[in-house]
């Protein structure tokens, strides 16, 4: 009975955290891009624009839900549902931390511990192209169809280098279980350099990580590879004919896929929930220092605010940071809180790279996109895999 209760608690906590993250990830992205472009971003709805995602959600929820008369209605309605379902399915096998004890029961910080979790995530993510293709074809309109065809060619092309980039660290770990992959990255070289796959001997996977990061932009249809929804060419691409919550479903799926692929990069290359330096050197106290410093900075700006509302809002933000710092300062909570902190910090860094690139780089031409996949990225991934296999065969893996 305790097992089912703990599983239900984990599922509810995961879905609540995930939905809240998806709601505010767009707000964070708009703020990041605004700072990159020397703007202020959302600021009107709520303090610092914090209620902007709620306003956007209400607007989409209350907006008239139009279904064009010329569409294939069943497939037209199936596409956004399929996009969201497939985007959320992968989270069932992603581990967020090690095995811990809750209410006297030992449990892992994941819903399902599959021995073939890597294959499961790759299989589910490869099926997301069906949602885009169905949306474009069922809309019975030329611009969505062109966007769908672009997406199919793009995602199939970039899945090959992405799969090869994934295969290289699997040779080091000799397992398809995501939890075991992380556990085999435990330890440090010279007592300081982490044994993450990106650094791990005999074949550090720096090239694989770079290939994976580039391919993950294309797989999630993000700038500079957002050709399936290029507004200057295709109006809005594959979702041109969608409105209301069906339109929002595609963006929810896009952000969910961003989190999934960032989590996979963290688990495969960056040590998952393992800290970047040993606990003996204070890695367990890094969250306390970080949140404490953030609270002090927010309090300073609140006391020396240039705007009247900042004098009210920033001290509240500072109190929240100080509360988190105190929570992480309790040694008893370290096994429960510190591993997920490091996992989320690494995922957050990769998500920030998504946002930074969107605010920095222009969109590629479609011929450049395909030529880069087949002429550059794919050969590099093949050579890296062959070299990794040779080094593992000669010197041995984990």
pLDDT along the chain (398 residues), means of 10: 76 88 92 90 87 90 84 89 91 90 78 91 88 88 85 87 95 93 93 93 93 92 79 75 87 91 96 94 94 95 85 92 96 91 96 91 86 94 96 80
Q: Please, which residues bridge with residue 99 across strands?
A: 108
Query: Which positions ≥6 away from 283 have C-beta within 8 Å?
Result: 275, 276, 277, 338, 342
Which pLDDT score, from 0 to 100, does residue 362 have? 84
Which pLDDT score, from 0 to 100, does residue 382 have? 96
Which pLDDT score, from 0 to 100, does residue 182 have? 96
Tell me the chain's radius of gyration from C-alpha atoms. Answer: 22
Please write down the HEC assignment for all residues of 152-174.
Answer: HHHHHHHHHHHHHHHHHHHHHHC
Which pLDDT score, from 0 to 100, does residue 117 have? 94
Burial of residue 166 (number of CB atoms within 10 Å: 0-12, 13-18, 19+): buried
Collapsing DSSP to helix, strand or coil, 202 comes out as coil
Phi, psi of 324 (to 5 degrees): -65, -40
Within a 10 A sphere around the Cβ of 187, how many other Cβ atoms? Answer: 14
Listing DSSP states for 101-149 in one string gives: EETTEEEESSS---TTHHHHHHHHHHTHHHHHHHHHHHTTSHHHHHHHH
Longest dimension (CA), the chain: 67
Which pLDDT score, from 0 to 100, does residue 223 have? 79
Which pLDDT score, from 0 to 100, does residue 278 have? 93
Within a 10 A sphere around the Cβ of 3, how many other Cβ atoms? Answer: 10
Within a 10 A sphere around the Cβ of 234, how many other Cβ atoms? Answer: 21
Please write down the HEC assignment for all residues of 217-284.
Answer: HHHCCCCCCCHHHCHHHHCCHHHCCCCHHHHHHHHHHHHHHHHHHHHHHHHHHCCCCCCCCCHHHCHH
Which pLDDT score, from 0 to 100, does residue 312 have? 87
Q: Please state whether 237 falls in left (phi above 0), alpha (psi between -120 and 50) or beta.
A: left
Within a 10 A sphere around the Cβ of 114, how many other Cβ atoms? Answer: 17
Collapsing DSSP to helix, strand or coil, 363 comes out as coil
How far CA 330 is from CA of 97, 108, 148, 291, 297, in Å, comes to: 18, 21, 51, 14, 22
In terms of Cα–Cα distance, which of 188, 200, 189, 160 is closest to 391?
200
Structure tokens at 184: 């085999």
Which pLDDT score, from 0 to 100, does residue 11 have? 86
CA atoms within 13 A on the CB side of 154: 31
Which pLDDT score, from 0 to 100, does residue 397 have? 59
């Amino acid at each position: 009975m305790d097992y089912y209760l703990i599983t239900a608690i984990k599922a509810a906590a995961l879905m609540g955290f995930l939905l809240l993250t998806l709601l505010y990830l767009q707000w964070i992205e708009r703020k990041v891009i605004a700072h990159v472009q020397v703007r202020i971003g959302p600021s009107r709805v709520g303090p610092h624009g914090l209620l902007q995602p709620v306003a956007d959600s209400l607007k989409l929820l209350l907006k008239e839900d139009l279904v064009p008369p010329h569409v294939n209605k069943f497939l037209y309605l199936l596409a956004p549902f399929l996009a969201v379902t497939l985007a959320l399915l992968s989270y069932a096998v992603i581990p967020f931390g090690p095995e811990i004890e809750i209410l006297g029961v030992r449990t892992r910080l994941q819903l399902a511990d599959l021995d073939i979790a890597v294959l499961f995530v790759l299989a589910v993510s490869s099926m997301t192209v069906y949602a885009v293709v169905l949306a474009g074809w069922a809309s019975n309109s030329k611009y969505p169809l062109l966007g769908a065809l672009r997406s199919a060619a793009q995602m199939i092309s970039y899945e090959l280098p992405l799969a090869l980039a994934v295969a290289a660290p699997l040779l080091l770990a000799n397992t398809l279980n995501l939890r075991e992959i992380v556990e085999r990255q435990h330890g440090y070289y010279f007592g300081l350099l982490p044994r993450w796959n990106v650094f791990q001997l005999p074949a550090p996977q720096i090239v694989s990580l770079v290939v994976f990061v580039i391919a993950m932009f294309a797989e999630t249809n993000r700038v500079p590879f957002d050709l399936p929804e290029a507004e200057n060419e295709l109006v809005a691409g594959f979702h041109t004919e969608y409105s209301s919550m069906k339109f929002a479903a595609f963006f929810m799926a896009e952000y969910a896929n961003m989190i999934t692929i960032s989590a996979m990069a963290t688990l495969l290359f960056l040590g998952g929930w393992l800290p970047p330096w040993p606990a003996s050197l204070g890695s367990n106290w890094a969250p306390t220092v970080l949140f404490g410093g953030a609270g002090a900075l927010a309090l300073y700006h609140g006391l020396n605010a240039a705007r009247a509302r900042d004098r009210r809002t920033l001290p509240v933000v500072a109190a929240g940071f100080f509360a988190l710092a105190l929570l992480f300062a309790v040694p008893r909570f370290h096994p429960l809180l510190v591993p997920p902190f490091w996992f989320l910090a690494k995922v957050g860094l990769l998500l920030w790279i998504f946002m930074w690139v969107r605010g920095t780089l222009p969109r590629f031409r479609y011929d450049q996109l395909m030529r880069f996949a087949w002429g550059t990225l794919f050969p590099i991934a093949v050579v890296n895999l062959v070299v990794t296999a040779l080094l593992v065969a000669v010197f041995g893996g984990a």
